[in-house]
Structure 1
Amino acid sequence: MQIDGKRVLITGGTSGIGLAAAHLLQEKGARLFVTGRRPDALAAALDALGPGARGLAADVASDAGRAATLEAALAALGGLDVLVNNAGAVRAGRLEETGAAEIRAMVEVDLLAPILLTRAALPALRASGDAMVVNVASGIALVGVPFYATYAAVKAGLAHFGEALRRELLGEGVHVLTLYPSATDTPMMRTSRAGPDLGFVKETAQEVAAALVAGMEADALDVRRLSEQRAQMVALNRADPAALDARFRELKPALAAAVKDHSAL
């Protein structure tokens, strides 16, 4: 895809990977519309991006928020070429200690919102003739990690949604790309204390965004940003999942303590 001149909507575009990608896409000539739930974060992001960027404070987990987001983006941009489903939510910890509301929030933000927003945006994307949907999944979608049961489920669901939709839309002018970031140094990870010893090697949001934009330009099927430790886990999970189970059994006490407060909902 040629980025210059593309009209891009980024959900969760006020911080982290979304904001870093917005800066890089803007540098390449894209026209931007970003969303986030917090008006103060949106104002700061738009100030950083400059007068060419537009945005809206809205919750894409709600029907009203998605409708307002798409309506405002189409009005501001005059159409849509790229939808980046980046808004995310996470709550780590033991499943039986995770509240029903927290589980629903992950399902609604990480899986239901991207599916429904993509469905609503498809007419505009089809009209583009050279469009793309980018779904931000997670390295945890590739290998289930203890204490992230629901998060792994919804991110794996998002990845398979993207894969199936890509095949559904083949030859129709809308490409679908899935990003699999590992641990990234963003506000979403601030409450996690898991480090490299537990398989959580953090990259900067700028590094992940640069790889994503390169993948968009190459019309890649997916972009995987896996640390060496996480890549080894993915490979071992395919070759000998019982061996990975044994490794996680050793890590469980330290991992449980490191992620018990990890929440960004």
Structure 2
Amino acid sequence: MNLQGKQVLITGGSSGIGYAIAEAVLAKGSNVVITGRRHDVLREAAERLRQGGRVEYVAADVSTEEGRKTTLEFTLRALGGLDVLVNNAGGVRAGRLEDTSEAEIRAMIEVDLVAPILLTRAMLPVLRASGDGLVINVTSGIALVAAPFYATYAGVKAGLAKFGESLRREQKGEGVHVMTVYPGATDTPMMRSSRAGPELGFVREPASAVAAAVIEGIEQNAFEVIRGGEARAKMIALNRDDPAALDKRFLDLKPALAEAVRDHSAL
């Protein structure tokens, strides 16, 4: 896809990976709407982004029916149509499953899985009408290699990935492509409450690097973008070929990892 002149909606676009993607698509000549729950943060982000092109913003919670309706109506008014939907908004609560509240579990399911599914459903007719539509689902490397203490998060992110795979095949030949992004540990506000570092396999990269890879994937009509380089590729292969070996590796890391992520929360 050539992004010049495309109309792009990015959920969770006021910071982190969403903000970096907004910067990157603006640099390619796209027009952008960003969404989020905090009006002031969105306004400030939009003001900075407007240095690179046309940006509008709408404060809406896409995990609610009203928020999705508001997002759809505003986007169509602001852009006149839609070519690219980036499902980036998400939340996480790490820790042992039995220490995770039902409210936290349900929040991850609603924000990370239900919201992008229902928002995509609402936007599909508009995306199809563009003739060159694209859905980008930002999942997580944990969807490929699940780490302990992220059981619900891994489940919903893997669910989003398989949703995208199925939808890609459903929409094949109908003018809508679907691409799945698997970021690794990324230096974003979402990761600030995590103390897991390189010694535990969490080597953080800047959000701009993820965004650059997303742009490359868009331009190549890729099915997926996997971050983490050779180390991630080796873990994925080991998880497929000898999962017990990876279980043993995580067993050795469990005490330190449990302590490092017990306060990791961004919901």
Length-normalised TM-score, structure 1 = 0.98
Dislocated runs of 4+, deviation >4 Å: none
Tell me the distance in 2 between the aligned counterparts of 1:212 and 1:77.
22
Question: Are 2:178 and 1:185 aligned?
Answer: no
Identity of aligned residues (%): 67
Match of 1:240 in 2: 242
**Letter of the 1:231 counterpart:** A
| SS of the residue 1:135 aligns to | strand
**Stretch moving more, 90-99 or 223-232:** 223-232
Superposed counterparts of 1:1-265, under 5 Å: 1-50=1-50, 52-265=54-267
Can you list the C-alpha shifts for 1:135-186, whole angstroms capped at 9, x where unaligned? 0010000011000000000000000000000000001000000000000000
Contact 1:13/1:86 (<8 A) preserved: yes
> 1:95–1:149: 8 Å Cα contact kept in structure 2?
yes
Q: Deviations over 1:224-252 (max 9, x none)?
A: 00244433322211110111111111000
CA deviations on 1:12-59 (whole Å, 9 max, x unpaired) are 000001001101101111000000111121011111111721011111
Once residues 29 and 172 of structure 1 are traced to their aligned partners in structure 2, the CA distance between those partners, rounded to angstroms, is: 25
2:105 and 2:232 map into 1 onto residues whose CA distance is 25
| Alpha carbons 1:199, 1:229 under 8 Å: kept | no
Q: Which amino acid aligns with 1:149?
A: A
- Give CA-to-partner distance per residue, 1:84-111, whole Å, 9 cap, x none: 0000100000000000000001000000
- 1:41 alignment partner AA: V
TM-score (normalised: structure 2): 0.98
Deviation per residue, 1:51-92 (Å, 9 max, x gap): 721011111111111110111011100011000000010000
* Secondary structure of the structure 2 residue equivalent to 1:45: helix
Measured after TM superposition, the shift of residue 197 of structure 1 is 1.1
SS in 2 for 1:60: coil
| Unpaired runs of at least 5, structure 1 | none
Distance in 1 (alpha carbons) for counterparts of 2:251 and 2:233: 19
Amino acid paired to 1:118: T
- The one-letter code matched in structure 2 to 1:26 is L
Q: Which secondary structure state, in structure 1, belongs to the residue aligned with residue 35 of structure 2?
A: strand
CA distance in 1, matches of 2:230, 2:157: 21
Q: 1:202 to 1:227 in 2, by over 3 A?
A: farther
Cα distance in 1, alignment partners of residues 27 and 251 from structure 2: 46
What secondary structure is seen at the aligned counterpart in 2 of 1:56? strand
The 8 Å contact of residues 182 and 227 in structure 1, kept in 2 or not, is answered as: no
Structure 1 residue matching 2:196: 3-state secondary structure: coil
Letter in 2 for 1:35: T
Please give the alpha-carbon distance, in whole angstroms, between the structure 2 residues aligned to 1:104 and 1:226. 29
Corresponding residue pairs, total: 265
Are the counterparts in 2 of residues 199 and 230 from structure 1 also a CA contact under 8 Å? no
